[in-house]
Structure 1
Amino acid sequence: MTASKIALVTGAARGQGAAIVRRLLDDGFRVAAADVLTDELAAGTADLGPEVLPLALDVTSAADWTAAVARTAKAFGGLTALVNNAGVLHRAAVADETEEAFERSWRINCLGPFLGVQAALAQLRTGTGASVVNTCSTGAVRPFPQHAAYGTAKWGLRGLTQILAAELAPDIRVNAVLPGPIATPMLDSTTQSRLAERIPAGRLGVPGDVADAVAFLVSEHASFITGAELVVDGGQSLTIG
């Protein structure tokens, strides 16, 4: 293991986050795996050894973020990569949307990554090759009906990624992955089947597809890439309707 490669990954208990943790571990990172789902996180990381540090983290809490970054730095000696993967998918027609649900989507999907960057900034600036990857969505490329809360939050995160990339260069690279339909618990089986029929690639994505994209963006192979948006959707964005 190389001590200089240290990542903090949110939403790490399952799905894409769990896949990202394992992929970065394979690439020689030490990984702080963070999630609000602490029981699932503990079970999912139990076999990964001392190079993975499970952390309880509510991404909407600045205090939680401060504690998570401090624990990561204490355990591993620093932080070189932040992967803002935590998110929630929320659907509702505009007429049925509530103030509470709309705000919750924004707090988790957009405010959370902002608080994470703020909390991690000092640690990221002390290392070399530091990077941030934000998980956006194809919902930030095209409009999906009944996704006002989720879609606007992801559009906001897409804009935040661009602003951070411009502001934090050259010390910290900031990029985004924009997954399309990925086979995770966020999509029920009926939705997965419906979406798979319309993907040009002929299948849904799997968490490893997103993990591979993240691994590239935090690696030295992407050292000249910042402010980029890597769409991982099997061609979904090419379709109409």
Structure 2
Amino acid sequence: MTEPEPKPEPGAPATAAVSDLTGKTVILTGAARGIGAAAARGAVAAGARVVLTDVLEEEGRRTAEALGDRARFVRHDVTSEEEWQRVTDFAAGEFGSVDGLVNNAGISMATFLADVSVEEFRKVLDVNLTGVLIGMKTVIPAMRRAGGGSVVNISSAAGLTGLALTAGYGASKWGVRGLTKIGAVELGTDRIRVNSVHPGMTYTPMTARVGIEPGEGGYPNTPMARVGEPHEIASAVCFLLSDAASYMTGAELAVDGGWTAGPTVRYVMGQ
């Protein structure tokens, strides 16, 4: 079944980033739509050359074509070591280096812990966690040749706290958080920074299908009382890719409207 396209982001800027990425080449997975597409738009607007990857080939090509000469699309299954090597070689061959990696590709299944199947659990971990491991491992030699780089792993607010119905998804995002810190510790002297971004509920095709709506007051579960917009997550991603974040590694950047900060006033007051 085709997922519904989200409505345009209210008040979204034409570009998502103010960080300078001039001269950098970035591989960005899960970039056909949603947060990945917004991050690709922001990175190109900030001066980067971007290789967008996704299993959604038609949408991915459209997204890349709309970004002009500094964007390319490659169909990519992030669970395949061979395809990761192909994407990395393509980026280096096409643009001369690999300076940034955004591990954004992911899937989600809403299932209670008592009901989740082992097959379902493994499938989510394979894409969301093993895919991140393979991506990081594959780009290390290219980033070392470039003199350093920045890896941004998209975790989730569900990787900072427990969230019902996310046995596979939440576990994978906690794993991404941990893998990020291990990468930061091991790769710091190579001038390769590794950080994680933890989006809260964000208005994307994935959330639109379950009735999430954007706009003020539309999501009272967060202190800001609304869901996030893809460009807001993308701005954080582009900042971490840029030299403006040159002394940040192993960091967890929550972009969640305050959701992980604690219960809302409305909840505390019993309203």
Identify the TM-score tier after normalising by the shorter chain.
Answer: over 0.9
Q: Which runs of 5+ in 2 are unaligned?
A: 1-19
Q: How many residues align?
A: 241
Q: After the TM superposition, which of the residue ranges 83-92 and 192-201 deviates more from structure 2?
A: 192-201
SS at match of 1:55: strand
For 1:70-109, what per-residue CA distance to the aligned partner results, in whole angstroms no more than 9, with x for missing partners?
1111100110000001111111012221111100110111
1:127 is matched with 146
Structure of larger gyration radius: 2
* Distance in 1 between residues matched to 2:93 and 2:33, nearest whole Å: 25
Equivalent residue for 1:160, pick from 144, 162, 179: 179
Q: After the TM superposition, which of the residue ranges 23-32 and 124-133 deviates more from structure 2?
A: 124-133
Q: Could you tell me whether the CA contact under 8 Å between 2:29 and 2:103 is conserved in 1?
A: yes
Q: Which runs of 5+ in 1 are unaligned?
A: none
Q: Could you tell me whether the CA contact under 8 Å between 1:4 and 1:80 is conserved in 2?
A: no
1:173 is matched with 193
Q: Could you tell me whether the CA contact under 8 Å between 2:159 and 2:171 is conserved in 1?
A: yes
1:215 is matched with 238
What is the one-letter code of the residue matched to 1:61? S
2:5 is matched with none
* 1:119 Cα deviation after fit: 1.1
Please, what TM-score do these two structures have when normalized by structure 2?
0.85
2:64 is matched with 45
Identity %: 39
SS at match of 2:102: strand
Superposition pairs of residues 47-196 of structure 1, within 5 angstroms: 47-171=66-190, 172-188=192-208, 190-193=210-213, 196=219
What is the one-letter code of the residue matched to 2:239? F
* 1:4 Cα deviation after fit: 3.6
* 1:129 Cα deviation after fit: 4.5
Equivalent residue for 1:18, pick from 11, 26, 37: 37
What is the one-letter code of the residue matched to 1:232? V
What is the one-letter code of the residue matched to 2:124? S
For 1:170-189, what per-residue CA distance to the aligned partner results, in whole angstroms no more than 9, with x for missing partners?
22000000000000011136
SS at match of 2:66: coil
* Distance in 2 between residues matched to 1:201 and 1:52, nearest whole Å: 34
* Distance in 1 between residues matched to 2:62 and 2:245, nearest whole Å: 32
* 1:239 Cα deviation after fit: 3.0
* Distance in 1 between residues matched to 2:163 and 2:139, nearest whole Å: 32
Q: CA RMSD in A?
A: 1.8
Q: Could you tell me whether the CA contact under 8 Å between 2:76 and 2:83 is conserved in 1?
A: yes
2:17 is matched with none
